[in-house]
Amino acid sequence: MNIPAITAIYVYEMKRFFRTLMESFLSPVISTSLYFVVFGAAIGSRIDQVDGVSYGAFIVPGLIMLSVMTQSISNASFGIYFPKFIGTIFELLSAPVNFLEIVLGYVGAAATKSLFIGVVILITAEFFVDLDIQHPWAMLAFLVLTCLSFSLFGFIIGIWAENFQQLQLIPLLVITPLVFLGGSFYSISMLPPVWQTVTLFNPVVYLISGFRWSFFGTADVAIGYSLLAIGAFTCICLAIIWFIFKTGYRIKS
């Protein structure tokens, strides 16, 4: 394992993040505050509780998941796409590093950035609602796994994308709608039976449900299914990345 190479990639990516630290810090704080004003105040005044939890607190896991997923994809996809765009990826491919070390550097940095954003949102939420996290270690595990898995997914998008428009296509048209329709701001038990069944085909439901369970001990689906879903998603992403580097798909041409 080439630790210096992993460290060099990781540090370079983190330096780019810290150069815009204020924007990275203020953006989630402002966004979270607006969500609480709109959803917590406007809708929360009409919905007292969901599954025995105040509506303001209920939406916190969904807000964190929404930001963490989108930020993980954005950070990882841009991190690997930019070297492709300017041509420096060939220097990386010709260096004595294997694909696993490249992935660890880029994905590790993207996951770290997303984890930072998630923690910032959690701290911001504490100013609006009282949170009593029932399973803090499970919450941290779900948060880290989500950061890692969606950073891997973002890495794949960054390699697949041929322009900046494609870089934003999947996050905007696929991930964001899936998160909003995945129970971020409501329990799927509030839906008609037919739509409950349809919603279960949304993979994001299992991640949000498991993450919410770590906060309040209640979930729309069994916690075991949530762990299985995120584990399967991570393995699929790793397999795709291995195939990309084995075949040179869109990185050697």
Q: Are 76 and 160 spatial neighbours (Cβ–Cβ below 8 Å)?
A: no
In a domain, 19, yes or no: yes
Q: What is the C-alpha separation between 99 and 81, in angstroms, rounded?
A: 15
Query: pLDDT > 90: what percent of the chain?
Result: 31
In a domain, 11, yes or no: yes
In a domain, 221, yes or no: yes
In a domain, 147, yes or no: yes
For the chain, what is the domain count?
1
What predicted TM-score, i.e. pTM, was given to this entire model? 0.91
In a domain, 53, yes or no: yes
In a domain, 253, yes or no: no
In a domain, 185, yes or no: yes
* Predicted pLDDT at 120: 87
Take residue 34 and report the two structure tokens written for it.
């607006």
* Domain range enclosing 226: 3-247
In a domain, 252, yes or no: no
Q: What is the DSSP letter of 225?
A: H
At residue 44, does pLDDT exceed 70? Answer: no
At residue 4, does pLDDT exceed 70? Answer: yes
In Å, what is the CA distance from 201 to each residue of 119, 147, 158, 242? Answer: 29, 22, 26, 27
At residue 41, does pLDDT exceed 80? Answer: no
Q: Is 163 left (phi over 0), alpha (psi -120 to 50) or beta?
A: beta
At residue 192, does pLDDT exceed 80? Answer: yes
Q: Mean pLDDT throughout 160-166?
A: 86
* Predicted pLDDT at 253: 59
Q: What is the C-alpha separation between 84 and 155, in angstroms, rounded?
A: 12
Sorting pLDDT into bands at 50, 70 and 90, what band is 182? confident
At residue 42, does pLDDT exceed 70? Answer: no
* Predicted pLDDT at 45: 61
In Å, what is the CA distance from 223 to each residue of 143, 192, 237? Answer: 14, 22, 21
